[in-house]
Amino acid sequence: MFCDEALDSVEAIAAGELTPEGRIAAHLETCPDCAGALRAARDLDQMLRRRAVPAPPGNFTAKTLARVRRVRWRSEQHVDLAFNVAMGTVVVALAAGALLLLARAGLAGIAGDAFSLVSRTAVDAGRRLSGSLSVYTGAAALLGTALLIWWWAERDSDMANG
Amino acid sequence: MQAGNERQLVERCRSGDEHAFQELVEAYGNLVFALIARTVQDRSRAEDLAQEVFLRVHRALPYFRGEARLSTWIYRIVANVCLQEHGKPALPLSLDDEATHGAARAAASVDRRFGDFELRDRLEKAIARLPANYRLLIAAHYLEGIRYEDLAEALQMPLGTVKTQLHRAKQQLRRLLETELK
């Protein structure tokens, strides 16, 4: 029973947080097992104090900041995507609402006439331009390529800046 | 770091000053890494987890109300990260691990009395067998710069409980060294 009490205090005594007094001090002087436990606890305390402190790699700060930027960039991309999806949904909903309104108000016929007028105009314009189709196709391809290169450059620059 | 400087640093970080966040990582990087490396005992995993700590710090800084000291708040995040890691088994220590050799060489120059590699190897193996919360307590208590009070606040435990748990951790460690790993 007394050994149990002394052994419970051994760690605190070894760490210097408790000074053995009275019967515990007397017991530690006479009981070889408890005295041995105190010696072992003191040795362990010293070993733990002398344990090597692991140092981070030299580029730890740079790597951490790069990771923070990467994660933030990804999170901003997700926000952008969510915003674009939301805007797309709003546009589709507005278009659907407008069509529904036209149908309810009996204006669908007028809208149909307007649509056929616009389509006829587009077809006529297409016929007139068909002679120079190859020129327009080439110009469109050049413009598309330029836009693609610009998009890639912007994307790389965004990633580099985090 | 003094409380006034901490507050200024936090405010600068909140206002989006990247250089301020770099200062924060530089100020706490060594301590955070050492604490985690001692707890998980695997350098590459420790580096990853230390970065994870700073990611969480960066994400949560706008919500930091300054009720606790910045250092205490960071230790709390370290404790959460380490204890979440607890679900994964501690990696066995390898004698071929360059990091283990490096740490052993550094310690040998510091203290010849305990310079015996085998003894330290046994100690590291015994620590690896402790529960994660005990490993964390031992790691933090024996690292300079972490006060008992900070530790109690970070772990949201009364000071007395921290001390009792630390004594139990050392008792278990001593028993492991005296019996199974003798």
Cβ within 8 Å, pair B123-A53: no
Q: B130 and B138 in contact (C-beta within 8 Å)?
A: yes
Between CA B95 and CA B174 the distance in angstroms is: 22
Q: What is the pLDDT of residues A121-161, one digit of tens each?
A: 998 888 887 777 788 889 999 999 999 998 888 776 555 44
Q: What is the pLDDT of residues B110-133, one digit of tens each?
A: 444 444 567 778 888 899 889 988
Token representation of residue B162: 């921290």
Contacts of A72 in chain B (CB under 8 A): 58
DSSP string, A99-134: HHHHHHTT-HHHHHHHHHHHHHHHHHHHHHHGGGHH
Domain ranges across chain A: 2-49
Chain A residue with Cα closest to B166: A11
Structural domain including B67 reads: 3-178
The nearest CA of chain B is from the CA of A50 a distance in Å of 7
- Is the confidence metric ipTM above 0.95 for this complex? no
Q: How many structural domains is chain B composed of?
A: 1
CATH number for position B87: 1.10.1740.10
Cβ within 8 Å, pair A52-B110: yes
Please tell me what DSSP assigns to residue A51: S
Dihedral-angle region of residue A16 (phi above 0 means left; psi in -120 to 50 means alpha; beta otherwise): left
Query: Is this prediction's pTM over 0.90?
Result: no
Cα dihedral sign, B18-B20-B26-B32: negative
CA atoms lying within 13 Å on the CB side of residue B113? 8
Q: Which residues of A touch B (CB under 8 A)?
A: 10-12, 14-15, 17, 37, 40-41, 44-57, 60-61, 63-65, 67-68, 71-72
Between CA A86 and CA A84 the distance in angstroms is: 5
